């Protein structure tokens, strides 16, 4: 009887631990955005890839200068695949990077060639 109780208790603990680690992972979608575009970014928007609404500017006050990084909080694990739109400080032009799985990456380095309008993103 005691052996059965210990087995049940151990099973419950293992299950609780597994559930806790899955829950922790689900909310762990924060990421660092590295600006390697060549231009300062004044606004950053994040939107589910299947939606057309950008919501609020995630930058707040200030800018993200070229070569700098900023941590963004993101916890929408139900919609991991997101688009990121930035607005550049110097000319207010907008560029979008599409279909980035924020649940799978921790660092995104954005690149942009303004002459060719080619965008790319390196993810880690």
- pLDDT averaged over every residue in the chain: 82
Top pLDDT among 7 and 94 is at 94
> For 25-79, what is each residue's pLDDT tens digit?
434 579 999 999 999 999 999 999 988 899 999 999 999 999 999 999 988 778 8
**Stated pTM of the model:** 0.75
Query: Rounded distance, CA 86 to CA 113, Å?
Result: 14
Q: What are the structure tokens assigned to 121, written together?
A: 């993103």
> For 20-34, what is each residue's pLDDT tens digit?
333 334 345 799 999
**pLDDT recorded at residue 76:** 79
Got the DSSP string for 84-120?
EEEEETTT--EEEEEEEETTT-SEEEEEEETTTTEEE
């Amino acid at each position: 009887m005691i052996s059965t109780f210990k087995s049940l208790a151990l099973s419950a603990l293992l299950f609780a631990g597994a559930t806790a680690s899955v829950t922790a992972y689900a909310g762990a979608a924060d990421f660092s955005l590295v600006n390697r575009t060549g231009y300062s970014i004044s606004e950053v928007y994040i939107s589910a890839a299947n939606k057309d609404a950008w919501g609020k500017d995630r930058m707040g006050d200030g800018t993200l200068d070229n070569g700098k990084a900023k941590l963004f909080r993101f916890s929408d694990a139900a919609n991991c695949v997101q688009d990121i739109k930035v607005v550049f400080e110097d000319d207010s032009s907008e560029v979008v990077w599409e279909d980035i799985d924020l649940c799978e990456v921790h660092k995104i380095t954005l690149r942009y060639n303004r002459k060719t309008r080619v965008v790319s993103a390196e993810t880690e």
